[in-house]
């Protein structure tokens, strides 16, 4: 088993100071220059080694540079296969669609068509919103408190975070933000509140084209909706003529222990957005899936130069065939999720905190961003890359690669537990130094 | 010299019919399944070979799978270098920034900071719009007739095309569309019209945060703005407190014979957006450049999962170092541009048509989309991949890779000339069969 | 005591069919042609006489053509006093401001400045919204479910009614519709829900420029907010930097037994909008009142041709001096309100219905618009003009002139009670005939 | 003939300082307190007398307190006729509709239905915009540079003036501002520019629901569109499926020498908005007229409390019957318009200025607002009420009541001419003192 050993000093960052916008963020908390990565491990260019509990925000569910995907990609490149294919027919795209059909859709009895949008999550969301508005002829979209769906104006309008929204500099109309499951505490049924307003023709809540929901809110604090609530939302959407869009960009691709996060809830969304871990290798790729009857696009009505990123098709097809040919991988992920939950629960209880999340996207709510920051900083100094989530960055979030072993997961959680204990052992002012 | 020889029959497309949205477009006009590509050549999976005059809409300025870039990428992958780096410091990002500084910015005495947005052009545009609105505290943005800037709501609002705009299903506010250079014919100075309205406090044209312009409109009909007009627009922007944004996504990276399309006009935009050929290899990558004083972002204020696409950094850095260490490549491109212009002019004059464009992005205006379609279809049947541009798809557009040889360019232009002559030799109704 | 005796037959409506838009509404339910009116009585042009429980939607709180106001108006007109004064200084305006100061503001220790907007309620609301946005630099406004604030786009955006909103044909942005007091039943504290979302920077609810509220929702179903809730809302507004706007257009001018409806709640709004009964005679007049510190308008920044309707100033000043020199009128109104409440409660309980409202704006919730329609139609056939309220027109609403006598009020309520009993005595299908 | 003799000193304005918002504007330039008015004369409360060349911004085309209208109104009030009628059938409304039909519509062979909106011009415009959007299913509306249509958000979006627009505090979407006739000088055909963009599916100009135009821009600088241009605009609207809305609020009711300003242009708008002089007596009243086929409103879809202002119906009907029973009044107005034009032209030429306007709405462009202010201030000191127009208030505007006699008109123009000559005789810095 490898040991994390961070490098002691910060790298020369003058080129970044000179030439890169200070909009960058992760590097502020993790000031090292990284160069190599394999599985759950990252290395910096001074020989430091880090255990990765961030997985590029769930974009590396199969770890860094997985050997099977790597080999497929190398072969593809070496043969001068097409790299950039716009939306032409290519062997790479056909292979991906075939894998999608056979490894994912058929076993789950799902009948979806795939739209290759520009290869970013926000683009997949924008396409979904357009389609829902086009089909229903309605403008309003219901999104939820703490939802996060992207940074371009259409998706940003659905995002709750104030700091991100202010970046727009313009109004973000045509979206209503409703309360997510549990938002007002355990005693308030937020689905009932929503339905009450939709049924009232004088509530000011306009009939929605779509209800856009994450089953587990990745950026918004790892809030996991109950399956009952999700079913209620699906029913409400249906009853009120709205399409149900599940944004599975962060929670999909196995993160919750199922390929799609909505599977165990027993719902079938009209539209699903995917990105992040879709290519399996961290390469840009996004997808908007929808029921075939909804495929009412005109050719090119929504397009994007890089919608035919063949390298991503290759690694994505390899990932689907390698990890999703049967349930064994998902089953392991679920086991690992239970392991994670048990240990987090233990840590949380020791200090009167609570846990949140589902499957392999879980966290501890430590109450304040200040404390969470002390904990994650300590972790980083001990070789664990880990980040926070939530409006106030008050959730310490574990998003380890799904291929992590039981031992490695414990190894990281030990670092986390020590950091938590240390932070709680002394006044915050000292801990923060 | 290779010979184009298209394969005679259409491929089995059943997987696409079943599983891919019909939003796809290029494959409709080019119904073959492609698999390999090198330089200016594409191959389909039945052994057909095609000369590429589309270059993935100017995303493959250095051709398909350029060997230098390919080798850099293979080396990078083989060593398990970081693929997905969010916005962490990585060797790959540092190397790219270094190449950008030394090969591009310094020789041109440009002082820009680089913002890595989500790796699509539309994302770079959205970031530019946000920044301009944030800095000026204004909402309105001036864009131009026939401008094309992307498909997400913020960028789409700046795009002129009606079909694309209708896809939104909502209003696209906070943008004024003004007349591009020459839009009302040679006798109307559209910059003067714009200035008149900006100077009039009662014109209804709100003070703009930015003027967003392409120097050559790639999708909008290969309209090339005169340098004088561009200078006028730059002055107007400055005088009225607006930032000048040049969208160089299609015209940049050497397409006009200069790295930035605005260089010969002698203007220095406040913000520049780049994508398409930036990675050099067709990999998704986008960049928003701006003057250092404008770098007023808060960390993470605009972000995106795939903003650290390291593979693209690697090929982009290799491309900058290989092609832009001095002026020799650009000089060759300009020569090829002259060759192209001469031949297109000849063809156009033979039939009373006109040409348009600049450098290596040029076309013939054949008057109707119907005729243009006959011509490009004939070309495809003869092994030349070529597309149209403009509101009515009435421009036959040549966007060959910039690394094309004199002979190859002539080879393709011969096919085009024959197709044009054939189309003009018989009534359109017959030609269309 | 006068007796209602409606005229038996409908008038010739051919001129309306030919020349008036069918957007008209009240005349559909009350198909008579009216010509004279005095106090609480209306007459049609065939000699029919009607008791008025509508009071022009609370625009005739002092009844029709009150003799004191009438005489003041006749004197004014006869002397060729200025009718139309734009926003010039006039004797009429000075007299009104003096009456406002001495009869209304001083006794209540309120310090407001008056803005004469265009003489419609919607215009007063638009002015209030502009001012709040100007002062706070924010865009979002919080309005409430079932709120009704006007038909022009700014005010309509704050209105809940779906049918009215659809008339816009465009999006109605920059307003969030939150739940009014009691909206989710007695167990849900809607002020707490609102505050929770305002305190959460990731709720998607943007920081508001204003909270716009009616203390009793006149069109939205006679929902009366509790005083405690109003105080909570006032505190929330203050804490979150929003201005509190009370729309007192329908509930003001004594309708609830106080000149301003918010007086007994013990709150002091930052801005108050007034119209309807302000002129006292049914003449068009509107006012936006605000704290002097908020008077940050530039001259003419919001204007309107008829903002100096002198006839209305004259009757308004006369009304303030006649009815509001001391508390005696208000005291009588409160007594009448109690009388109304007692009888409505009795009727409601007899059939298992509930009552709603406050002061002299009260109603019975009969459950369905269909039943309410049967009841009000019967009333009209018996000489009582009475209308419905609420999203489904399911509230039978009593808005009698405030100068009604105890006997007249009973007279009308007898007609209502009989109509209610009759409607409940037989199946709805028969009753509807 | 009466003589203007202004009162020497300013009135006590303390009540206004204390209690009226400083949004007021006209009183700043005319600091007297007015009390009586008759015909073309105004009196202040210190005995000063003023000739009125403002006519309440064209709201008093028949002068102040016209005796015929006055008597009709007094009779109506004395008989306790209905003052406030919502949209009930009333004798007063029927009489007005009858007068409208017989005096206006029939003689002009116009077939319109009348919608009584809230009694302000902005409300009539909002209703027109809603109807156009509803009927066409489109959102965009084309308005013109320097257009002025009202202050509520929907109408304000169509207004060009920057100061007014900024008052909104929010974006004003769904309107495109195009160049009015002559806006770019005599050599640029602005109708052609508009049509070019409408015909181009990639211009960014969305297909309009309506084209909203004033034939003479009252607030925007007295710009009179040529009849040929108006016909072009009408054709363009028709060809592109847009409704033509003529905003005749200021130019209608005879101001140009015809009841509707568009009559001599030979066009028939789909929708016409009216207000200002409609009631004839300065009472608030507004109307939206449209072709019967367009009457697709649902009952109450657009409403407003004061839409049944019976006093205004009475004076309006009297005015139509008195002034519009035949062409004699209009003919006199046209003669007076010629007189006005001759004298203004003379004055203008004497100083190298130009004139503008049509009929009895004309002005002199004196180049700067500073100079115009000096002139109108001098006029006021000499007993002439006169105002400016245009984006920079650089037009001295004559909007005298239409019933003015030849002598009175000359009397006022003499004062104006003297003021102009005086202002030009000395340096501006001295003149301004």
Chain A residues in contact with D171 by the CB 8 A cut-off are 170-171
Q: What is the pLDDT of residues B217-236, one digit of tens each?
A: 999 999 999 999 999 999 99
Q: A429 at the D interface (CB within 8 A)?
A: no
CA geometry: angle D25, D26, D32, nearest 5 deg: 120
Chain A residues in contact with D170 by the CB 8 A cut-off are 171
Place of tokens 């409940």: C424
* Token reading at B213: 């312009």
Q: What is the pLDDT of residues D108-137, one digit of tens each?
A: 999 999 999 999 999 999 999 999 999 999
Q: Which pLDDT does position A433 carry in this prediction?
A: 45
Strand partners, D144: D178
Q: What is the DSSP letter of C180?
A: P
Nearest CA to D236 out of D274, D189, D202 is that of: D189
Q: Which pLDDT does position D433 carry in this prediction?
A: 45
Nearest CA to C390 out of A201, D293, B329, B168 is that of: A201
Query: For the residues A58-68, what does the mean pLDDT come to?
Result: 98
Q: What is the DSSP string of B240-297?
A: TTPEEEEE-TTTTTTTTSSSSTTGGGT---SEEEE-GGGSSSS----EEEE-GGG--P
**Which segments of chain C have a pLDDT < 50?**
431-433
Q: Which pLDDT does position A430 carry in this prediction?
A: 54
Nearest CA to C360 out of C417, C406, C317, C323 is that of: C406
Q: Does the structure show a pLDDT above 50 at B421?
A: yes
Q: Which pLDDT does position D428 carry in this prediction?
A: 56
Distances (CA, A) of A168 to A155, A164, A173, B174: 11, 7, 12, 11
Q: B210 at the A interface (CB within 8 A)?
A: no
Q: C205 at the A interface (CB within 8 A)?
A: yes
Place of tokens 């005739």: C60
Give the whole-angstrom CA distance, residue A44 versus residue B267. Answer: 41
Strand partners, A423: none
| Closest CA–CA distance from residue C171 to any residue of chain B (Å) | 8
B342 pLDDT band, cuts 50/70/90, is: very high
Strand order in the sheet with B384-385: A89-90, B33-38, B41-44, B49-52, B384-385
Q: Does the structure show a pLDDT above 80 at B433?
A: no
* Token reading at D375: 């002139």
Q: What is the DSSP letter of C85?
A: -
Q: Which pLDDT does position B426 carry in this prediction?
A: 76
**Nearest CB neighbour to A200, from listed C143, C145, C174:** C145
| Closest CA–CA distance from residue D127 to any residue of chain C (Å) | 8
Give the whole-angstrom CA distance, residue B10 versus residue B46. Answer: 9
Q: Which pLDDT does position C297 carry in this prediction?
A: 97
Q: D163 at the B interface (CB within 8 A)?
A: yes
Distances (CA, A) of A366 to A67, A253, A342, C199: 37, 28, 17, 18
Cβ atoms of residues D389 and D401 within 8 Å: no
Helix (H, G, I), strand (E, B) or coil at D151: coil
Task: Judge: B22–A153 Cβ closer than 8 Å, yes or no.
Answer: no
Cβ atoms of residues C5 and C48 within 8 Å: yes
* Token reading at C405: 């006598």
Query: For the residues D237-264, what does the mean pLDDT come to?
Result: 98
Query: For the residues A398-418, what does the mean pLDDT come to?
Result: 98
List strand residue ranges (DSSP E) for D214-366, in order: 216-217, 223-224, 243-247, 271-274, 287-290, 354-358, 361-365
How many CB pairs lie under 8 A apart between chains A and D? 3
Give the whole-angstrom CA distance, residue A122 versus residue B12. Answer: 32
Strand order in the sheet with A49-52: A384-385, A49-52, A41-44, A33-38, B89-90
**Nearest CB neighbour to D202, from listed B176, B206, B220:** B220
Share above pLDDT 70 across residues of chain B, in percent, rounded to a whole number: 98
Helix (H, G, I), strand (E, B) or coil at C23: coil
How large is the angle between the packed helices D310-323 and D67-78, nearest 10 degrees? 140
Listed in sequence order, the residues at least 6 apart from D120 whose beta carbon sits closer than 8 Å to its beta carbon are C118, C119, C120, C123, C304, C305, C306, D150, D275, D284, D286
CATH number of D327-403+415-425: 3.90.1150.10
Q: What is the pLDDT of residues A341-365, one digit of tens each?
A: 999 999 999 999 999 999 999 999 9
Roughly how many angstroms between the first and final C-alpha of chain A, as a whole number?
31
Q: Which pLDDT does position B107 carry in this prediction?
A: 98
| Closest CA–CA distance from residue D150 to any residue of chain A (Å) | 23
Subunit partners of chain C (3 or more CB pairs within 8 A)? A, B, D
* Token reading at B20: 């891919």
Give the pairing of strands A361-365 and C113-116: unpaired
Give the whole-angstrom CA distance, residue D26 versus residue A176. Answer: 43
Helix (H, G, I), strand (E, B) or coil at A368: coil
Give the whole-angstrom CA distance, residue C74 versus residue D76. Answer: 10
Strand partners, A356: A363
Give the whole-angstrom CA distance, residue A218 versus residue B106. Answer: 41
Cβ atoms of residues B314 and B337 within 8 Å: no
Helix H or strand E encompassing A119 = none
Q: B139 at the A interface (CB within 8 A)?
A: yes
Give the whole-angstrom CA distance, residue D267 versus residue D317. Answer: 25
Q: What is the DSSP string of C42-56?
A: EEETTS-EEEESSHH
Strand order in the sheet with A387-389: A354-358, A361-365, A395-398, A387-389
CATH number of B68-323: 3.40.640.10
Give the whole-angstrom CA distance, residue A78 versus residue B70. Answer: 8
Domain ranges of chain C: 68-323, 327-403+415-425
Q: What is the pLDDT of residues A267-314, one digit of tens each?
A: 999 999 999 999 999 999 999 999 999 999 999 999 999 999 999 999
- Count the helix, strand and coil residues of chain D and give each as a percent rounded to the nearest 5: 40, 20, 40
Residues B55, B60, B66, B69, Cα dihedral to 10°: -170
Task: Judge: C204–A160 Cβ closer than 8 Å, yes or no.
Answer: yes
Give the whole-angstrom CA distance, residue A144 versus residue A181. Answer: 9
Strand partners, B43: B36, B49
Cβ atoms of residues B75 and A93 within 8 Å: no
Listed in sequence order, the residues at least 6 apart from B109 whose beta carbon sits closer than 8 Å to its beta carbon are none
Helix (H, G, I), strand (E, B) or coil at D136: helix
Helix (H, G, I), strand (E, B) or coil at D107: helix
Q: Does the structure show a pLDDT above 90 at A1?
A: no
Give the whole-angstrom CA distance, residue B210 versus residue C28. Answer: 53
Distances (CA, A) of A234 to A129, A146, A193, A267, D411: 17, 19, 15, 7, 77
- Phi, psi values for residue D216, rounded to 5°: -130, 125
ipTM: 0.97
Chain A residues in contact with D300 by the CB 8 A cut-off are none
Chain C residues in contact with A207 by the CB 8 A cut-off are 162
Taking CB atoms within 8 Å and a gap of at least 24, the contacts of C223-228 are C223/C146, C223/C180, C223/C181, C223/C182, C223/C183, C223/C356, C224/C356, C224/C357, C224/C358, C225/C180, C225/C181, C225/C182, C225/C265, C226/C181, C226/C182, C227/C264, C227/C265, C227/C266
Chain C residues in contact with A222 by the CB 8 A cut-off are none
CA gyration radius for chain B? 22
* Token reading at C196: 């929770």
CA gyration radius for chain D? 21
Strand order in the sheet with D354-358: D354-358, D361-365, D395-398, D387-389
Chain B residues in contact with D139 by the CB 8 A cut-off are 171
Place of tokens 């520049």: B272
Quote the mean pLDDT of chain A: 97
The greatest distance separating any two alpha carbons of chain B, rounded to the nearest whole angstrom, comes to 64
Give the whole-angstrom CA distance, residue A371 versus residue A375. Answer: 6
């Amino acid at each position: 088993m490898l040991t994390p050993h961070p490098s002691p000093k910060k790298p020369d960052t003058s080129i970044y100071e000179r030439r890169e916008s200070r909009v960058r963020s992760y590097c502020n908390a993790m000031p090292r220059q990284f160069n190599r990565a394999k599985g759950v491990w990252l290395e910096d260019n001074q020989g430091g080694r880090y255990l990765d509990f961030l997985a590029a925000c769930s974009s590396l569910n199969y770890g860094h540079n997985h050997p099977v995907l790597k080999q497929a990609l190398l072969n593809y490149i070496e043969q001068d296969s097409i790299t950039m294919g716009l939306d032409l027919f290519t062997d790479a795209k056909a292979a991906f669609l075939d894998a999608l059909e056979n490894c994912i859709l058929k076993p789950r009895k799902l009948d979806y068509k795939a739209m290759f949008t520009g290869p970013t999550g926000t683009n997949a969301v924008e396409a979904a919103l357009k389609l829902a508005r086009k089909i229903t002829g309605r403008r309003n979209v219901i999104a939820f408190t703490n939802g996060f769906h992207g940074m371009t104006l259409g998706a940003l309008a659905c995002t709750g975070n104030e700091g991100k929204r202010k970046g727009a500099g313009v109004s973000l109309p045509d979206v209503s933000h409703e309360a997510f499951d549990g938002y007002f505490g355990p005693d308030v049924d937020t689905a009932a509140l929503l339905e009450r307003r939709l049924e009232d023709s004088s509530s000011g809540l306009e009939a929605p084209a779509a209800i856009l929901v994450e089953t587990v809110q990745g950026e918004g604090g790892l809030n996991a909706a109950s399956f009952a609530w999700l079913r209620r939302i699906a029913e409400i959407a249906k009853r009120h003529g709205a399409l149900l869009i599940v944004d599975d960009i962060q929670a999909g691709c196995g993160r919750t222990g199922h390929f799609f996060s909505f599977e165990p809830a027993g719902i079938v969304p009209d539209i699903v957005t995917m990105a992040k871990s879709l290519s399996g290798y961290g390469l840009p790729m996004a997808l908007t899936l929808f029921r075939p009857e909804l495929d009412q696009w005109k050719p090119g009505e929504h397009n994007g130069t890089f919608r035919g990123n063949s390298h991503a098709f290759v690694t994505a097809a390899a990932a689907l065939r390698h990890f999703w040919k049967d349930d064994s991988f998902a089953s392991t992920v679920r086991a690992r999720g239970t392991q994670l939950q048990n240990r987090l629960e233990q840590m949380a209880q020791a200090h009167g905190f609570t846990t949140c999340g589902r499957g392999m996207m879980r966290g501890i709510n430590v109450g304040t961003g200040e404390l969470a920051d002390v904990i994650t900083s300590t972790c980083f100094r001990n070789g664990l890359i880990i980040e926070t989530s939530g409006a106030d960055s008050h959730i310490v979030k574990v998003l380890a690669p799904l291929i992590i072993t039981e031992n490695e997961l414990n190894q990281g959680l030990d670092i986390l537990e020590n950091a938590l204990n240390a932070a709680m052992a002394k006044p915050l002012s000292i801990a923060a130094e």
